[in-house]
Amino acid sequence: MVEFRSVTKRYGTVCAVDDVSFRIEARTLCTLLGPSGCGKTTTLRLIAGLEMVSAGTITIAGRDVTSAPASERDVSMVFQSYALFPHMNVLENVAYGPTVSGDRSAKEKALQKLRMVGLEGFASRMPSELSGGQQQRVAVARALVLEPQVLLFDEPLSNLDAKLRRRVREDIRELQQSLGLTVAYVTHDQQEALAVSDQIIVMSNAKIAQIGAPRELYEAPRDRFVADFIGDANLVEGELGAHDGSRAPVRLGGVEIVLEHRGAAPGPVRVAIRPESIVLSQNLNSGLRGTVRKAAYLGTHMEYTVEAPIGQLFVVDRDVARPIVAGTDVAIKLSDHGVALVPS
């Protein structure tokens, strides 16, 4: 388990990580997610011991490592650039760490880890002879060969194309689960975070915005930033009525829906509506009215921009067989899934 307790990191007067506390449970994959400059990579480097804290405490497996150097933390890191030695073959790259530490079984361990990441038979190849995805796997094998308590990934897929990125992230997730690894994973890609994580820590301006499971963050964002950053969200204004248990009526542009009030007081509120939760119909007998302003075909789905009384809405519709042309008046209905009140 990795735990941060009130950790702060300053560079002069600039605070890169500001009073951050969280826990990564053992044998889980936790993603640090956020925009550039939010503090996620600095947080990862603090776990690794590549940066030292200005205040607070870091523990790994219950041991205080706040002041411990990187060599004494039992962690390995996979960098964004892979950082493979170009003059060494694959086996030499993977075996480098144990070899330097004098481990006589370094080559056997390296071959085992290469088999583990699906690169058996690639031992004699040079890095320049490998694809981007294969180089990424070599970097993972090199980290695994040290048999760390914690494995760290710093934006490991950013150099890969979209299809390869999806395949490699599935490989990393499968490897983490099959070996029971504790993994901290940094990315700015929301889909990547949702796909691989047991837990996501969303960071903004050096602080934690929200911590939770992928479904929790997507379906119940704590604030506007999280709602807008985790996937796409239509943020609209509504009027919350009196509470009845955990649920309360919300009026949106003349239409009333019932939502979890999530502790918000009656009155003006903000509601996050996911694009796939909006259903468009050319039957104008019910629901909100709107007009399709833009329509785009993306193969697997249609994307619409709809002008409505509650504002401009972004809509994702899987019905590509019957597209709605721009200029068409439509009725707007909201599904029971993907519509949530944003408390703050």
* Interval 51-102: pLDDT, tens: 999 999 999 999 999 999 998 999 999 888 878 999 999 999 999 988 888 8
CATH code: domain of residue 49: 3.40.50.300
Residues 203 and 323 in one domain: no
What local confidence, expressed as pLDDT, does residue 243 receive? 87
Does a structural domain hold residue 227?
Answer: no
| CB 196, CB 29: distance < 8 Å | yes
Domain of residue 323 covers 232-342
pLDDT band for 164, please (50, 70, 90 cuts).
confident
Q: Which two tokens stand for residue 179?
A: 């070996």
For residues 82 and 114, state if they share a domain: yes
Q: Which pairing describes strands 182-187 and 29-33: parallel, antiparallel, or unpaired?
A: parallel
pLDDT band at 27 (very low <50, low <70, confident <90, very high): very high
Q: Quote the CA–CA distance of 102 and 157 in Å, as a whole number.
A: 32
Residues 209, 66, single domain; the answer is yes
User: Which of 195, 219, 243 corresponds to the end of one domain?
Assistant: 219
Is 58 found in the same domain as 186? yes
- 41 pLDDT tier (thresholds 50, 70, 90): very high
The pLDDT of residue 202: 97
CATH number of the domain encompassing residue 322? 2.40.50.100
224 is a domain residue: no
CB 11 within 8 A of CB 27: no
Query: What is the per-residue pLDDT across 275-311, written as a single tens digit (0 to 9) for each?
Result: 999 999 988 877 789 999 999 999 999 999 999 999 9
In a domain, 139, yes or no: yes
156 in the same domain as 78 = yes
Phi, psi of 297 (to 5 degrees): -95, 125
Q: What are phi and psi of 25, to 5 degrees?
A: -70, 155
The predicted model scores a pTM of 0.89
Alpha helices in 60-131 (DSSP H): 90-100, 106-116
Residue 65 makes CB contacts below 8 A (sequence gap 6+) with 49, 58, 59, 72, 73
CA-CA-CA-CA torsion sign (326, 329, 335, 339): positive
**Pair 77, 97: CB distance under 8 Å:** no
Burial class (CB in 10 A: 0-12, 13-18, 19+), 86: exposed
From CA 312, how far away is CA 198, in angstroms rounded? 34
Q: Which phi and psi angles does 215 have, rounded to 5°?
A: -65, -40
Residue 225 inside a domain? The answer is no
Q: Are residues 82 and 214 in the same domain?
A: yes
Are 207 and 313 within one domain? no
Is 319 part of a structural domain of the chain? Answer: yes
Tell me the CB-side half-sphere exposure of residue 221, using CA atoms within 13 A. Answer: 25
- On the 0-12 / 13-18 / 19+ scale of CB atoms within 10 A, 14 is exposed
Q: Check whether residue 180 and residue 316 sit in a common domain.
A: no
* Model confidence at 12: pLDDT above 90: yes
Query: Are 159 and 199 members of one domain?
Result: yes
Task: Please check whether residue 226 lies inside any domain of the structure.
Answer: no
Question: How far apart, in whole angstroms, are the C-alpha atoms of residue 264 and residue 240?
Answer: 8
The pLDDT value given to residue 187: 92
Burial of 263 (0-12, 13-18, 19+ CB in 10 A): exposed
Asked if 42 and 157 sit in the same domain, the reply is yes
Query: And the tokens for 318?
Result: 């899987």
Q: Which of 171, 195, 219 is the last residue of a domain?
A: 219
Q: Give the pLDDT confidence score for residue 253 in this predicted structure.
A: 85
What's the CA gap between 128 and 321, in Å, rounded? 45
Other Cβ atoms closer than 10 A to 264: 19
> What are the tens digits of pLDDT across the range 96-143?
988 888 888 889 999 999 998 889 899 999 999 998 888 988 998 998
Average pLDDT, the chain: 92
Picking from 192, 219, 246, the residue at the C-terminal end of a domain is 219
Q: Is the pLDDT of residue 324 over 90?
A: yes
Does one domain contain both 173 and 284? no
Residue 263 and residue 184 share a domain:
no
Burial annotation 136-154 (CB, 10 A radius, 16+ → b, else e): bbbbbbbbbbbebbbbbbb
